[in-house]
Amino acid sequence: KKRILVFAGPSGEGKTTTLAKVAARSLFEEKRSVAVITTDTYRIGAAEQLRIYADIMDIPMEVVSERRGFREILDRFSDRDVILVDTPGRSRCDEERIGKLKECRPADIPVEVNLVLSMTSSVESTMDAVRGFDGIDYDSIIFTKLDDSRKFGAIYDVIDSAGKPVSYIANGQNVPRDLKKMDPAGLARLIIENRVH
């Protein structure tokens, strides 16, 4: 299936690196055609970082700053199996800017929105993000930076509060190696045994 995957979340959670890992896995392991879009025109160097990944993988990338342009780029990449969309980091408390992320979810196109959360953030900050980003109606959660954390029990509290599945965990900076697809059994082992298998 053709899929559009959006990566959203607070600043510094690892959205861009996680997107690059998913892009590499889709391209090299699943043999799917990939394109990348970034709507992050706020953070200095954000588009350049993603462009480096795109150039290495030899996949097309576009920078979009407005809703109309976003739709035009989606149409241009309609021949791609997977379109991955990077979004600017938003403060957990900035309801207006979080609301703007809805523009990355056109009503007539199926889109999967992933909320990216770092395990290095405090439980309180993570729970604030879960509540703060609820308005974008995200589909799943990706936990990052597990390699920098020693306790994974908070994952249970987050998914219990959010009521959303976990699609991936990321446990390092290596693209695409340090990314693991999650299922309920694997997630339970991670939480109970407190280690990445």
Specify the range with the lowest mean pLDDT, choosing from 29-38, 43-52, 122-131. 43-52
User: pTM for the full model?
Assistant: 0.87
Predicted confidence (pLDDT) per residue in 4-18, tens digit: 999 998 888 889 999
**Cα separation of 35 and 164, whole Å?**
26
| Amino acid letter for position 66 | E
CA 57 to chain CA centroid, Å, is: 18
Q: What is the pLDDT of residue 89?
A: 76
Q: What is the pLDDT of residue 30?
A: 93
Token pair 């043999």 in the structure block, residue:
31
Q: What is the pLDDT of residue 7?
A: 93
Cβ contact 21:114 at 8 Å: no
CA 182 to chain CA centroid, Å, is: 14
Predicted confidence (pLDDT) per residue in 123-174, tens digit: 888 898 888 888 788 899 999 998 887 778 888 888 998 899 999 999 878 7
Q: What is the pLDDT of residue 19?
A: 94
The more confident residue out of 30 and 149 is 30
The more confident residue out of 21 and 97 is 21
SS3 168: strand
99's tokens: 């609301």
191 has pLDDT over 70: yes
Alpha helix ranges (H) inside 30-150: 46-57, 67-76, 95-100, 123-132
Predicted confidence (pLDDT) per residue in 78-110, tens digit: 999 999 999 887 655 455 555 555 565 666 778
